[in-house]
């Protein structure tokens, strides 16, 4: 059974919405995402009507399908399907594993959030006035979600989902300067700071924030010795003011591979790592992308 209660409102309402077996074997399966499947037709009729009771269907993706093509066929945002199935990247389960597809658009967040994306969703959904709890059988356990009807990923959440986020490049350290305009420590002019600075000791190891390829290594007056890593989805990360690098242009890096050591090269007042995240060459605020733990 799927039980829910509205978390904001006067009354506690518990209702049986539909009958489900474990997530891998729901009792309302769709075999095809076209009108030759009467269950798909039923699902589409529900999607077109507003304020329907929440009902879940299951579907085993074909080898040539992805979350975006499935979302288009069922006329739901991909964020709805991703959040319900606890996907934090655009990769579907493998090995004939079914996914759940609801009949309503919105966002789901498990009450026991396990990833950075889920924590962000839970924080935002918990403030949504129309959100209610949904309990879904998953294998031998019950998982409680908050569901916010009609809500979609924010830009931040969409970026994290598409890229997967970035791990901390040094694992810690005080933030000494943030992204945005600041007064430059040398010229005292108000200039744009395209990254985030972590104040740490000389020789602190620096790690790749995500899987990628070393695109360039350079030494310049401003950023000193720096490494640029290209990632999927047209993202780049920049690691600057390094004391030493351990990689070469063209090297394939896995998330967490060491690429150098913190230094104070270039225009620097002391040892620190200048870290940037760029999308299509344009700097973005790294604090939106780092998976802070």
From 163, 198, 219, give the residue that closes a domain.
163
How many domains are contained in the chain? 2
Same domain? For 36 and 66 the reply is: yes
Identify whether 98 is part of a domain.
yes
pLDDT tens digits along 219-239: 999 999 999 999 876 889 999
* pLDDT band (50, 70, 90) for residue 160: confident
Same domain? For 94 and 138 the reply is: yes
Chain-wide mean pLDDT for the chain? 86
Cβ-Cβ contacts under 8 Å for 174 (sequence gap 6 or more): 198, 199, 200
Identify whether 108 is part of a domain.
yes
Cβ-Cβ contacts under 8 Å for 106 (sequence gap 6 or more): 80, 147, 148, 149, 150, 151
pTM for the predicted model, two decimal places: 0.59
Cβ-Cβ contacts under 8 Å for 50 (sequence gap 6 or more): none
Identify which of 90, 153, 98, 95 has the alpha carbon closest to the alpha carbon of residue 121. Answer: 153
Same domain? For 133 and 13 the reply is: yes
52-81: average pLDDT? 94
Same domain? For 232 and 158 the reply is: no
Neighbour count for residue 183 (Cβ, 10 Å): 10
Q: Is 102 a residue whose pLDDT tops 50?
A: yes
Identify whether 168 is part of a domain.
no
DSSP-assigned letter for residue 166 = B
Identify whether 190 is part of a domain.
yes
15-20: average pLDDT? 34
pLDDT tens digits along 137-149: 766 678 999 999 9
Identify whether 179 is part of a domain.
yes
Q: Is 283 a residue whose pLDDT tops 90?
A: yes
From 122, 137, 163, give the residue that closes a domain.
163
Identify which of 227, 163, 157 has the alpha carbon closest to the alpha carbon of residue 195. Answer: 227
Identify whether 26 is part of a domain.
yes
Same domain? For 270 and 199 the reply is: yes
CB 266 within 8 A of CB 223: yes
Q: Is 173 a residue whose pLDDT tops 90?
A: no
**Helix axes 67-74 and 38-47, enclosed angle (nearest 10):** 80
Domain that holds residue 62: 3-163
Same domain? For 283 and 194 the reply is: yes
64-79: average pLDDT? 94
From 102, 134, 163, give the residue that closes a domain.
163
pLDDT (0 to 100) of residue 11: 26
Same domain? For 206 and 284 the reply is: yes
> What does the alpha-carbon distance between residue 231 and residue 238 come to, in Å, rounded to a whole number?
11
CB 231 within 8 A of CB 278: no
CA 243-246-250 angle, 5° bins: 125
* pLDDT band (50, 70, 90) for residue 24: very low
Q: Is 183 a residue whose pLDDT tops 80?
A: no
Domain containing residue 242: CATH number = 2.70.70.10
157-175: average pLDDT? 84
**Residue 30, CA atoms < 13 Å, CB-side half-sphere:** 28
Same domain? For 179 and 281 the reply is: yes
Identify whether 91 is part of a domain.
yes
| % of the chain surpassing 90 pLDDT | 62
pLDDT (0 to 100) of residue 95: 77
């Amino acid at each position: 059974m799927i039980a829910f209660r509205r978390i904001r409102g006067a009354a506690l309402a518990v209702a049986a919405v539909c009958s489900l077996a474990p997530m891998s074997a729901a009792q309302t399966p769709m075999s095809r995402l076209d009108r030759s499947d009467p269950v798909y037709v039923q699902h589409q009729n529900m999607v077109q009507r507003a304020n329907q009771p929440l009902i879940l269907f299951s579907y085993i993706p074909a080898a040539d399908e992805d979350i975006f093509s499935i979302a288009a066929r069922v006329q739901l945002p991909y964020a709805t399907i991703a959040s319900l199935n606890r996907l934090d990247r655009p990769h579907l389960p493998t090995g004939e594993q079914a996914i759940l597809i609801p009949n309503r658009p919105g966002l789901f967040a498990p009450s026991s959030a396990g990833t950075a994306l889920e924590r962000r969703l839970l924080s935002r959904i918990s403030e949504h006035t129309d959100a209610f709890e949904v309990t879904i059988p998953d294998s031998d356990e019950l998982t409680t979600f908050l569901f916010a009807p009609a809500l979609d990923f924010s830009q931040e959440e969409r970026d994290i989902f598409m890229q997967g986020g970035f791990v901390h490049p040094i694992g810690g350290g005080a933030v000494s300067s943030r992204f945005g305009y600041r007064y430059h420590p040398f010229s005292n002019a108000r200039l744009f700071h395209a990254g985030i600075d972590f104040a740490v000791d000389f020789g602190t190891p620096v790690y790749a924030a995500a899987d990628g390829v070393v695109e360039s290594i350079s030494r310049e007056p401003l950023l000193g010795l720096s490494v640029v890593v290209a990632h999927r989805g047209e993202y780049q990360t920049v690691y600057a003011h390094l004391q030493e690098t351990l990689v070469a242009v063209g090297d394939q890096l896995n998330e967490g591979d060491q690429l150098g050591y913190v230094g104070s090269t270039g225009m620097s007042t002391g040892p620190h790592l200048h870290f940037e995240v760029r999308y299509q060459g344009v700097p973005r605020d790294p604090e939106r992308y780092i998976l802070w733990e």
